Every structure is written in C-alpha cells, then in structure tokens.
C-alpha cells in the first residue's frame, strides 16, 4: 500500500474566476495563482499561465491574447481551462513517472448538468483520473471547520471574482443555495464605468482592482482616502492622471453591493423557519476575496440584522475545504454534487 500511495495523490482544486488554488494531500496548498492564460494567436502557443500571464493583462500587442478561461464561475474557454489545469498538475507532479490523481473541485451552486460536466471533463483531460464536484460554500464551511454535519444552520456567503455563492447548510448538505453573478469582477467594472463617466478617463481592470483594494469600502469611513489613477484621456487620447476619492469608489460599487445584500435576504426568506432561527443565533460567515472589502461585513450585518463573521484566511477557505475532502474522499462522499454518471470512489 505504501508504494501505491507514492503514485496516487488526491488533490483539492478551487477553480475560481479570479484565482485557482491547488491543495495536495499531506502537503497542503501548493499553488495559488490567477486564472489567466496568454496565447500567441499566430502560432497557437501558450505563452504564460497564472502570475506571468496576469502581468501581461492590458499590455499585449495585437497577436497576443490574455484569456480568462472562467467567466462568472463557469468555464467559457474549455481548451484553455484544460491547459491551465494541466499546467498546474504538471507543476505539482514532482517529476514522478506516474501519478493517479483524484481531484475534488469546488464549483458554484446551481450549475447546469452541462456546466458541471465541462468542469469534470476539463480536470480529467488535464490528467486527473477522476473528478468529484462539491459546492463552494460547502467546501468553504468545511475549510473553516464549521459544524456542517450537525442539524443546525450554517450560512456561508462566498464573494469570489465572478460569482457570489450563498448557501444555508445543514446535515452536510445545502438546504437552499443561490449563485449571483455579481462579485469582485463586477465591482471592478463598476469602477471602470464610473471613472470613464465622471472623469472621461479610460482605465484598465488592474487599475480598477488596485483602486478597489486601496480605498474601496462598503460603508462610510471616518478616514478620507485618495488614490492617483492614470489612464487615457477620452478627449485627447493622451495620458492623464486624476485623483479619486474613497467616497466616489463607494458610490460606484454601491448598487452591486445592494444586489448582494438583497440576494442574501431572499435566500434567508426561503429557508425553513427553524434554520432561520439558527442563523439569528449563529450569524453569517463570509469568505472569498470580496469579503476583504472594508466594511462589507458591517453592511451585511446592518441590513440583515444578524452577526456576520469573516472566516480566517477567506481567500483559501474553499481550497482548504476541498483539501479536507481530499485527505479522506471516502468519508466525505455524501458532500459530492450528483454528476451525470455515478461516482465511483473506489480505486
């Protein structure tokens, strides 16, 4: 069995719209890179994946395309998603002659059968022998060591790059779940649109992301913050710099944050009364990159009138959960999303 374990490795994957993370059994998180690839249109060659590709975003000549293989939590470019996964699996292979990977992959709730099958096929074509799918809020709750197997409500809100995934979990499964296509990328788009309309200045996604992280907030703050933004003047076409205030960024993203709050309320409204009582006592748990926005926990707590807690290390909560499952796949088989074909967890 020892020799067999040398060749067999179970892995957990958080295949996110913004970042992809890989957890290897007995080793922990080994990859945390952007879900971005750069290709040469002339030759079809993949030039870079992950961090190196992100550096090229908005800075490439016409024959080089920087691609995000996942949009709103769903694979939009199957071949590129497959190549990205293959690249990550090669990096963690340790030059072994053969590895039999069983991959546990986090996916947004309420994906269609076709969308789930595309994730499964991408992992298998990239080199995994088997792929098991688990809803991201369930994985995040498991990664945060929350008591999801008990007969009480655990409400998780995962604000990622492409989607905000909301689930009320009890007895090891989602009782009710929602997936809203408003998250980090939409907030970036809101900021780009605001700067364009307010200052007549064109900025790229990396600049909008930096603006959001540096001075963005969900609620008013006592501290006044400003950030110098450089871009292309829409009138002259020449470079220009403007100063953006934190109040302006908050105004830009306010509508999208309102949509997230309303979706959380609607999810609670549809839950059984006993579970709503548990949520009142235990509160809501936030994870994902969006939970790092200043004051978003206070905004949700004020609007929903329940305590809100940001999970420790919210960026890695999902992959840590898939890692917990990967450490003992057989013991967590009930957490898997039903696939088109029966899941065989026996080797």
DSSP category for residue 312? S
Extract the annotated binding site.
17-19, 161-163, 209-212, 289-292
The three-state DSSP-derived secondary structure of 151-184 is CCCEEEEEECCCCEEEEEEECCEEEEEEEECCCH
Q: For 292-297, which contacts have Cβ atoms below 8 Å and span 24 or more sequence positions? A: 292/213, 293/159, 293/187, 293/212, 293/216, 293/217, 293/218, 294/216, 294/217, 294/218, 294/219, 294/221, 295/217, 295/218, 295/219, 295/221, 296/159, 296/218, 296/257
Answer for the pair 156, 143: CB distance below 8 angstroms, yes or no: no
Annotated binding-site positions for ATP? 17-19, 161-163, 209-212, 289-292
Q: Which of 136, 198, 134, 143 is nearest to 28 (CA)?
A: 143
Query: How many C-beta atoms surround the C-beta of residue 159 within 10 A?
Result: 26
Report DSSP letters for 187-217, one per residue.
HHHHHHHHHHHHH-EE--HHHHHHHHHHH-B
């Amino acid at each position: 069995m020892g020799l067999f374990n040398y060749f067999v490795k179970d892995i957990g994957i958080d295949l996110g719209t913004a970042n992809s993370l890989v957890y290897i059994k007995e080793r922990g998180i080994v990859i945390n890179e952007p879900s971005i690839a750069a290709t040469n249109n002339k030759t079809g060659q993949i030039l870079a994946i992950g961090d190196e590709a992100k550096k090229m975003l908005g800075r490439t000549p016409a024959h080089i395309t920087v691609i995000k293989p996942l949009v709103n939590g769903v694979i939009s470019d199957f071949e590129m998603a497959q190549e990205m996964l293959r690249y990550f699996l090669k990096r963690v292979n340790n030059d072994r002659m053969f590895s039999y990977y069983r991959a546990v992959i986090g996916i947004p709730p309420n994906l269609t059968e076709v969308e789930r099958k595309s994730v499964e096929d991408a992992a298998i074509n990239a080199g995994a022998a088997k792929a098991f799918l688990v809803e991201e809020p369930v994985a995040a709750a498991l990664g945060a060591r929350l008591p999801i197997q008990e007969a009480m409500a655990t409400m998780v809100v995962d604000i990622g790059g492409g989607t905000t995934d909301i689930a009320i979990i009890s007895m090891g499964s989602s009782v009710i779940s929602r997936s809203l296509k408003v998250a980090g990328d939409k907030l970036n788009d809101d900021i780009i649109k605001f700067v364009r309309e307010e200052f007549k200045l064109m900025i790229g996604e990396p600049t909008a992301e930096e603006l959001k992280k540096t001075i963005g907030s969900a609620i008013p703050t006592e501290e006044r913050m400003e950030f110098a933004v450089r871009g292309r003047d829409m009138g002259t076409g020449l470079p220009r710099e403007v100063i953006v205030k934190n109040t302006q960024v908050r105004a830009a993203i306010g509508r999208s944050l309102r949509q997230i709050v309303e979706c959380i309320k609607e999810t609670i409204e549809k839950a059984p009364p006993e579970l709503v009582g548990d949520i009142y006592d235990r509160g809501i748990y936030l994870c994902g990159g969006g939970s790092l926005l200043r004051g978003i926990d206070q905004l949700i707590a004020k609007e929903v009138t329940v305590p809100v807690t940001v999970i420790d290390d919210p960026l890695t909560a999902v992959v840590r959960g898939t890692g917990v499952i990967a450490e003992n796949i057989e013991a967590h088989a009930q957490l898997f999303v039903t696939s088109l074909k029966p899941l065989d967890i026996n080797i």
